[in-house]
Amino acid sequence: MNRKRMIVIAIAVVLILCVGIAFYFWHKDQQEKEEANQILFGKYVNTAGNLHLKMDTSEYDRTGDPHDIELMPTDLTQDLLQRWEAIAEAIPTINYPEEVVEQEDWLKIFNALVDNRPDMEVASKEITKDEGEAANAMALDEYIYDGYLYNDNFHEFLEENGVEGPDQRRLE
Distance CA 146, CA 169 (A): 19
Model pTM score: 0.75
36 neighbors 61 (Cβ within 8 angstroms): no
Could you state, in chain order, the average pLDDT of each consecutive group of 10 residues for the chain (172 residues)? 80 80 79 86 93 93 89 94 92 92 95 92 82 74 84 79 59 37
Phi, psi of 151 (to 5 degrees): -150, 180
